[in-house]
Amino acid sequence: MLFRLALACSLCGLGVVWFMGQASMPISEIDESLLDQSVKIDGFVAKVSDMSSVVVLEVYDSTGSVDCVSFSEDKYYVGQEVSLRGKVAEYEDEIQVMLS
């Protein structure tokens, strides 16, 4: 009986950790205090700048916008709804998200 209770508590704890890792954050909350930390954002693509080996996306939600840098070959278009993960970085005194 005690084993089942411990197992149930462990599984609930893992579920909470997984859920917290899946939650997205408002773009307005991304600032210098989150440098080098992983974030997840949900929003819409406002601008796509394709530069040979890198794509810079301007992504916005109801709270603000942020540039996201992608080194993948994924295709993005203006107006596309996206859910992105990456690390917060600073480039030329601007906060951006380096996509993973």
Half-sphere exposure of 80 (CA within 13 A, CB side): 13
Q: Are 59 and 75 in contact (CB under 8 A)?
A: no
So where are the chain's domains? 26-99
Q: Is 84 helix (H, G, I), strand (E, B) or coil?
A: strand
Q: What is the value of pTM for the model shown?
A: 0.76
The hierarchical CATH code for the domain 26-99 is: 2.40.50.140
- List, for residues 54-83, the tens digit of each pLDDT value: 999 999 999 999 999 999 988 999 999 999
Residue 23 pLDDT > 50: yes
